[in-house]
Chain A
Amino acid sequence: MPQNDYTYAVARVRFKETQLLSDSDLYQLLSQRDVDTCIRFLHDKGWGDNSKIETVDELLKGEDNKTWKFIDEIIQEDKEILDFFKIPSDFHNLKVAIKSITRDIDAEDMFLYSGTVDPKLIYDCVNKREYERLPEHLYSIADEAMKTILQTSDGQLCDIVIDKACLNSISEIGKNADNEIIKLYCELFVASADIKIAARCAKTKKDISFINRSLAPCDTLNIDRLASCASFGFDSIIEYLSQTEYKSAVSAIETSLSAFEKWCDDYLIDILASQKWEPFTIGPIIAYIIARNNEIKAVRMILFGKINALDDDIIKKRLRKMYV
């Protein structure tokens, strides 16, 4: 099957890449006195809306929306190829909808608008129990998650059911993808989520049946072994991971889970380096989206670090490699 030609979209992305923040920009941002000067600095770099005063959340949400508006503009056909980026937002919105309905609270602010389905539709379907109106990836899991929370009143169990369905959907997209970078992204997404779940379960001493319910299958990890290691303890996970292709991540996992998240983001950026210069494929567009997400994540970390008066060195340690 011939792949789409992304020449036009890639040319537009090339220019946008020049507007991404570099490592030195981030260090400059970090050296600003307070949040207000940080926001002014970001405005000078083209971030946010200069016509109004924005909160940090509005600024970051606005930048995320800008990214997707730009991507929707440059990719006219075959938009679903990027669904693997959006699907986690759908599952997040499903969680929010179920919890806000069962606990009778207003959760409007917690919905994400970067998914494939309108959050209002998800809320409406869950509220009226009309799950068949939901797309395939949400349809059966919405019913199961709702039943779980109604029967057990256990929010964590409901989260596990939905999170696992999300990981399974991403894994399925990766397996069916023609593009190497999509396969890689989806595999790393699922494997890193499994590692984080296993590490958390080991630290909170969860039993094996709980761990098994939480982990989603992937190609680069044996999840039965990971689950049994997690039930033995954290050291056992480290020992297992030392024998897998994630052995370079072991020291990061030992440090902290946020250090491991940083390792995953840096690892992706390194993999993407080879995709940067493929002008006819979707590779540079995916690379741009990941780079932009990392950029927003880094800025979020700096701004909230400033708000909470964290030490600059602590923030610096968590900053990701920039794509530029």
Chain B
Amino acid sequence: MSEIMNNSGVFFALLGAAFATFFAGIGSAIGVGKAGVAAAGVLSEDPSKFGKVLIFQLLPATQGIYGLLIAFLVLSYTGIIGDPATVSMEQGLLYFAACLPIAFAGLMSAIHQGKCSVAAIGTVSKKPDQMGKALILPAMVETYAILALLVSILSVFGIAKM
């Protein structure tokens, strides 16, 4: 029983890493997918816009990368990759909690950034000279993914020092 309790810290930390990768990744996949469909529509009419629409399609991809980054940090601090380390159950639960901001903010922000990118692709398709302004709008959604990433990173670093 005590052995299970000792390992449950690693389990919760791993669960947190999985959440961060899984939810942020799902959000990015949906967002990039939606933007990709719109980009394909524009390209079938005007292939010269490939460079422009690709930027919009890639915008919602960042949340998945943020989730991956947090997952790597957790895996590294808990000894799942790299040097072995001891993780108590409390620490494991804390790591799990630290992963939640990027997991859920990543999921939602990527989906909405994808929708915003679709609309921006429409704008660029109709008015290519408005590329700069159209880019700012979906980029604003990124702010909330960055805030969540910041909280998750600071939390993981803080827990590691405990």
Contact = CB atoms under 8 A, between A and B. Distances in A.
Interface of A: 5, 7-12, 14-18, 74, 277, 279-280
A7 B38 contact: yes
Contacts of A74: 41
Contacts of B125: 11, 14-15, 18
Given A10-B122, A280-B118, 15 more contacts: A7-B34, A7-B38, A8-B40, A10-B38, A10-B41, A11-B37, A11-B122, A12-B45, A14-B41, A17-B126, A18-B125, A74-B41, A279-B38, A279-B115, A279-B118
A72 to B, nearest CB: 14
Interface in B80-119: 115, 118-119
Nearest to B38: A11
Interface string B21-40: 00000000000001001111
A8 B126 CA distance: 15
B44 interface: yes
Contacts, number: 54
B119 A15 contact: no
A82 to B, nearest CB: 18
A223 B37 CA distance: 46
B121 interface: yes
Contacts of A279: 38, 115, 118-119, 122
A14 B115 CA distance: 16
Contacts of A12: 41-42, 44-45
Contacts of B115: 279-280
Contacts of B3: none
B55 to A, nearest CB: 15
Given A10-B122, A11-B125, A280-B118, A16 B45 contact: yes
Given A10-B122, A280-B115, A15 B40 contact: no
A11 B39 contact: yes
